[in-house]
Amino acid sequence: MLVRRDADDIREIRPRAALAALVVVCAMLVLVGRLYQLQILRGNDYVAQSVQNFRKSLFVPADRGSLLDRNGKTLVDNRPSFDVYMTPAYCKGREKEEVMTKLAVYLQMTPEDVEQMRLSYQKSWVKDRLERFKPFLVEVDIPRDQVDVLEAHHSELTCVDLIPTPHRNYRVGPSLGHVIGYMSEVMPDEIDSSQNDEDDYSYRRGQSIGRGGLERRWERELRGKDGKENIAVDAKGRHLGKEIDELLIPEGERKIDATPGNNLVLSIDARLQEAADTAFPGRAGAVVVMEAKTGFIRALVSRPSFDPNKMSMRISRTELAKLTGDPLKPMLNRVMTENYHPGSTFKVVTSLAALEKGVIGTQTTTFCGGGYTMGNHRWRCDKPTGHGALTVKSALQYSCDVFYYSAGDRAGIDALSDMAHRLGYGQPTGLDLGREISGIIPNSSTINPATGSLRAHAINASIGQGEINVTPLQQAVAYAAIANGGTVWKPQIIQRIESPDGKVLKEFKPEPDVNNGREGKLGVKPEYLAAVRAGLTAVVNEPGGTAYRSRLPDIRFAGKTGTAQVVKLGQKQNLKTDAQQYFSRDHAWFASFAPAEDPEIVVIVLNEHGGWGAEAAAPVASKIIKAWSDIKKQDDTKSMARAEQ
Amino acid sequence: MSMATEKKLDHLNWPLALCTAIICALGVWNLASATKSLPDPLWAKQAVMMGLGVVAIGIFLFVDYRWLQTLAWPGYFAALALLAGVAFKGKKVLGARRWLQVGPMQLQPSEFVKLAVIVLMARYFSRDETGARKGQYGLIDLWRPFLLILLPVALVMKQPDLGTALVTFFIAFTMVMFAKVRWRDLAILAVSGVAGSVFAWKRVLKPYQKDRVLTFLDPAAYAKGAGYHAIQSVIAVGSGQWGGKGWGEGTQNQLSFLPEQHTDFIFSVWAEEHGFLGGLLLISLYGFLVLAAIDVASNARDKFGSFLAVGVAGLFFWHAFINIGMVSGALPVVGVPLPLFSYGGSSVLADMLGVGILLNVSMRRFMF
């Protein structure tokens, strides 16, 4: 009875069982469909993701190209060192705290550095999950004993990597700081914008990039191309050993060698550079030594400067603040990004303008009675009693102001301006070394009449005062043009770019400075140039010349002293008295070339707030010319010895 | 006796037994790959538990399953007592109290609670006359079974083990479906339940509340960042493609990117190493097992046996469906083991006993 009723009930269950079976089949089909979707339709994506999970790319940093001087002496190269990186994704929570505490001890980090590390860690924790798999730089270039400590504790620091990175080794110290520049960590926006680069020149976090000078200008040539090493890691980022690598990573992708960067051969002569740096006595100023017949730069000093080794990621924030807050502005390249009144060194421009205009002749004389009057204003000469009758040669020799007031007044401001532009003033010279300023060369259209008559402007300009402002580099270009007989050269500092194995990739030839408006030609009659050169030679080599005391016994050189008045500082500058005194002193100039008869080099010295050009600049140029001459003799002997062999 | 035994062996549901054996074998093989990097040979322990299960089934087959009716209430209360024991003396792992230390072994009572609920529900629905009297059950008439389920489910929720609580509830619900409940009432229950939770999720709950719910669903996953488990599991499954990476070659599994690869995420290991074809095979095996169980239910000798089989069918179906759905990213991550695949002694033993029930019911369908 019971059994039969049960049997009936079970019969009633059957439709529900059939329905349930249908539901089960459908549910299983849904699962199969889901598997089909994941494994077949999107399988390739997930394979890629699973590979990305275990594959870790270590970069093999490329050796950055070296910088060599003209004789092949190494100015900048690399030395092996180690950087410490951390990958945020591999240490989280408590582990992160432990690792950071240990690192701070092992690396003897300052609280500032620890704070920086925490900040970098936090920054990685953004929405983009991949970001946290990118290692960030903890400490750059750690000393050998710390490398040993980290290696000994490697197992506790699974998210920390010790990456052998060749680091910049600046062998020249601060003297060439502005020329060479320095390296620092690449900024996030630079990384972003580099991602679009086709040539695979993209940057990644923690890398360094050239800042300033040649390091920045030739970044692409110097950089080379990083290699890659792909290894397999587990979920905790632990390397699993060579065998697993071989199993999981195709052979061709395991290691890709780095391509080293190209070398730059500079026109700088390290010996002359050192001599110039040693010879220059001032706290601030510039020295330019340039080949008169080509425009290649042999030495370049801008003082004060910075130590590229220190600036390259080894500088603390306080040291950096001290550097940028220094009133002498050590980061300023005085050779090309600061301008000054040229003072009497500008008299060569006035001479040429007046000669060309015909207001003076090469032999005609102008009388100096100690002053020059125009209207109701009188301009004094340095020698109150007057120089008497002067030719252009003796006017340069004694640096008579009255001669030039008269010549400038008669030639007019536009003639002065035109001649200045032709010599390379008032516009960038084109030295390929970063930012360059134009200086100021006024003419009748730029002068505001409220600041005085055009004649008064011409009179002030004739001795390089008033509104005239020039850079030391422009002085070098202009004096080279006078010295070489009329070619205005574009200054250059790179001679060759060479591949790592020494093959010449690019050779730089002398180039005329086309910015002067006449395709690099000065366009002045040779006899006018000769007259000016005679005057400049007399400055140094004839008694009474302003630089007579700086003459050299065995090499005749020519030059012009200059003492540029400085705008008096107001009390509001709020400087200490001794600083006030310093900043109100005149700038001392000496613009020269040697040898006087067949000039090979131009030497420009600017001693900021140095006082008299004859005392604070000419002796420096003299020492540099002596050094140049000695080096030349030395090289000649060497090449003769080589020729005899 | 020997004649009877022989006859019973003739009646043994061989397809069901074979299907179970294949799943067990694949499960141990897969577990060996999943635990390759661990020092403990967990696959061997799992095989031993399966062996114990086979012995238990063998003994159990000699007893008529109807005897279970007398065990229903004691079993139910024993299960409740164990759950209470877990609540007070349980071992805490990853924020949840689920295990009970019994001598050298760790017992997970919630696995056996499912069986107790199945037996009790089967007894209830095979004896209750309400349905027969009225012709059909209304929702109101189900208050007693509802209360009986609620108690253990609430205790499991408290551990917290939402996955097991849900599955226990689903199993009981499935059994109710097979009782003569009015279709209309079932539909109302299902639709309002789904609509209510969808509405609550979309409109009522604030984001932080949702986070709390999600965290509650899977605390371990949130400890390591949102959805890490689910993402890695989907990568593992997806990267298996057609044929898989091969036994022991799954990088997600072997390099520990896959979380809990030997327990809840065991299917990801299988799918990564054996691909779509392997996955299809395994899903087919589970499908076959459930369909075989439904077949047992349809041909049982009595209502009790029939409901027992329905319960066990539900047990396998919900575990397999939720687990595979969860590791393939189609369902939220709730910790539910895959029957006979996930590592875990209690779960394996409970599943084997479930199969034993099916075999027992099936074997005695012709005996009156």
Chain B residue with the nearest C-alpha to that of A249: B251
In a domain, A315, yes or no: no
Instruction: Tell me the C-alpha distance between A106 and A100, whole Å.
Output: 10
Query: Sorting pLDDT into bands at 50, 70 and 90, what band is B327?
Result: confident
Query: Sorting pLDDT into bands at 50, 70 and 90, what band is A252?
Result: confident
In a domain, A525, yes or no: yes
How many other CB atoms are there within 10 angstroms of residue A446's CB atom?
A: 12
pLDDT at A390: 93
pLDDT at A2: 46
Beta strands in chain B (DSSP E): 91-93, 96-102, 105-107
Q: Position B276: which residue type?
A: F
CA atoms within 13 A on the CB side of A495: 16
Q: Residues of B with CB below 8 A from A27's CB? A: 317, 321
Instruction: Tell me the C-alpha distance between A160 and A86, whole Å.
Output: 4
Query: Sorting pLDDT into bands at 50, 70 and 90, what band is B310?
Result: very high
Mean local confidence (pLDDT), B193-199: 77
In a domain, A209, yes or no: yes
Q: Residues of B with CB below 8 A from A240's CB? A: 255
Cβ distance of B328 and A46 shorter than 8 Å: no
Chain A residue with the nearest C-alpha to that of B304: A6
Chain B residue with the nearest C-alpha to that of A92: B224
pLDDT of A124 above 60: yes
Per the listing, tokens 């320095």 go with A182
pLDDT at B226: 47
CA-to-CA dists, residue A16 to B10, B122, B290, B357, angstroms: 29, 16, 14, 21
The answer on A582 and A519 residing in a single domain is: yes
The answer on A513 and A551 residing in a single domain is: yes
Cβ distance of B239 and A3 shorter than 8 Å: no
**Residues 18-77 in A contacting B (C-alpha not used; CB under 8 Å):** 20-21, 24-25, 27-28, 30-32, 34-36, 38-40, 42-47, 49-51, 53-54
For strands A263-266 and A67-68, give the pairing: parallel
Query: Sorting pLDDT into bands at 50, 70 and 90, what band is B163?
Result: confident
Q: Residues of A with CB below 8 A from B180's CB? A: 12
In a domain, A324, yes or no: no
Q: Residues of A with CB below 8 A from B313's CB? A: 20, 24
Determine phi and psi for A60, rounding to 5 degrees: -105, 100
State the ipTM, two decimals: 0.88
Instruction: Tell me the C-alpha distance between A206 and A636, whole Å.
Output: 47
pLDDT digits (tens, 9 = 90+) for A165-181: 788 889 987 889 999 99
Mean local confidence (pLDDT), A251-260: 81
pLDDT at A5: 55
Q: What is the CATH number of the domain that holds A126?
A: 3.90.1310.10
The answer on A35 and A181 residing in a single domain is: no
Chain B residue with the nearest C-alpha to that of A26: B287
pLDDT at A337: 94
For residue A256, what are its two tokens? Answer: 């890709």
pLDDT at B212: 58
The answer on A399 and A373 residing in a single domain is: yes
The answer on A151 and A15 residing in a single domain is: no
Cβ distance of B313 and A32 shorter than 8 Å: no
Number of CB pairs, chain A paired with chain B, less than 8 A apart: 143
Q: What is the CATH number of the domain that holds A399?
A: 3.40.710.10
In a domain, A91, yes or no: yes
CA distance A4 to chain B (A): 9
- At residue A489, the 3 state secondary structure works out as strand
**Residues 227-256 in A contacting B (C-alpha not used; CB under 8 Å):** 232-236, 240, 248
% pLDDT > 90, chain A: 52
Q: Residues of A with CB below 8 A from B179's CB? A: none
The answer on A448 and A570 residing in a single domain is: yes
Q: Which structural domain, as residue segments, surrounds residue A18?
A: 2-41
Q: Does residue B222 or residue A45 have the better pLDDT?
A: A45
For residue A285, what are its two tokens? Answer: 């100023």
% pLDDT > 90, chain B: 32
Q: Residues of B with CB below 8 A from A45's CB? A: 238
| Nearest-by-Cβ selection for B241 from A31, A39, A248 | A39
pLDDT of A4 above 60: no
CA atoms within 13 A on the CB side of A425: 30
Q: Residues of B with CB below 8 A from A26's CB? A: none
**Beta-carbon contacts of residue A455 (< 8 Å; ≥ 6 apart):** A374, A409, A413
Chain A residue with the nearest C-alpha to that of B273: A39
| Nearest-by-Cβ selection for B237 from A39, A44, A233 | A39
Least confident of A2-11, A307-316, B144-153: A2-11
Q: Residues of B with CB below 8 A from A235's CB? A: 255-257
pLDDT digits (tens, 9 = 90+) for A97-116: 888 888 888 888 888 888 88
CA distance A123 to chain B (A): 16
Cβ distance of B287 and A240 shorter than 8 Å: no
Cβ distance of A34 and B330 shorter than 8 Å: yes
pLDDT at B223: 47
- At residue B100, the 3 state secondary structure works out as strand
Per the listing, tokens 């006796």 go with B1
Give ∠ CA A499-A500-A503 in degrees, rounded to 5.
Answer: 40
> Structurally, how many domains does chain A consist of?
3
Cβ distance of B257 and A36 shorter than 8 Å: no
Burial class (CB in 10 A: 0-12, 13-18, 19+), A58: middle
**Beta-carbon contacts of residue A33 (< 8 Å; ≥ 6 apart):** none
Buried b (16+ CB within 10 A) or exposed e, B213-232: ebeebbebbbeeeebbbbbb
The answer on A215 and A136 residing in a single domain is: yes
The answer on A155 and A86 residing in a single domain is: yes
Cβ distance of B252 and A42 shorter than 8 Å: no
pLDDT digits (tens, 9 = 90+) for A423-463: 999 999 999 998 999 999 999 999 888 888 899 999 999 99
End-to-end Cα distance, chain A: 130
pLDDT digits (tens, 9 = 90+) for B30-48: 999 888 877 788 888 899 9
Give ∠ CA B233-B239-B243 in degrees, rounded to 5.
Answer: 120
Least confident of A287-296, B218-227, B337-346: B218-227
Q: Position A20: which residue type?
A: A
Chain A residue with the nearest C-alpha to that of B126: A6
pLDDT of A243 above 90: no
The answer on A509 and A457 residing in a single domain is: yes
CA-to-CA dists, residue A644 to A635, A637, A638, angstroms: 14, 11, 10
The answer on A625 and A588 residing in a single domain is: yes
pLDDT at B1: 42
pLDDT digits (tens, 9 = 90+) for A324-378: 888 889 999 999 999 999 999 999 999 999 999 999 999 999 999 888 988 888 8
CA atoms within 13 A on the CB side of A159: 27
CA distance B151 to chain A (A): 27
Sheet holding A297-303, edge to edge: A297-303, A285-291, A601-607, A587-594, A558-564
In a domain, A47, yes or no: no
Mean local confidence (pLDDT), A298-325: 87
CA atoms within 13 A on the CB side of B321: 21
Nearest residue to A146 (alpha-carbon basis) of A110, A106, A101, A114: A106
Mean local confidence (pLDDT), A572-598: 84
Q: Residues of A with CB below 8 A from B328's CB? A: 31, 34-35, 38
pLDDT at A45: 86
Q: Residues of A with CB below 8 A from B255's CB? A: 53-54, 232-235, 240
Give ∠ CA B267-B270-B273 in degrees, rounded to 5.
Answer: 145
Q: Are B172 and B115 in contact (CB under 8 A)?
A: no
Instruction: Tell me the C-alpha distance between B242 and B249, whole Å.
Output: 15
**Maximal CA-CA distance, chain A:** 153
Cβ distance of A40 and B276 shorter than 8 Å: yes
pLDDT digits (tens, 9 = 90+) for B67-94: 999 999 999 999 999 888 887 776 666 6
Instruction: Tell me the C-alpha distance between A463 and A353, whole Å.
Output: 13
pLDDT of B358 above 60: yes
pLDDT of A604 above 90: yes
The answer on A468 and A443 residing in a single domain is: yes
Query: Sorting pLDDT into bands at 50, 70 and 90, what band is A226?
Result: confident
**Maximal CA-CA distance, chain B:** 67
In a domain, A314, yes or no: no
The answer on A236 and A129 residing in a single domain is: yes
Averaged pLDDT of chain B: 83
pLDDT digits (tens, 9 = 90+) for A532-577: 999 999 999 999 999 999 999 989 999 999 999 887 555 445 666 7
Give this prediction's pTM: 0.67
Nearest residue to A416 (alpha-carbon basis) of A426, A401, A427: A426
pLDDT at B134: 66
Query: Can you name the residues that pair with A511 across neighbouring β-strands?
Result: none
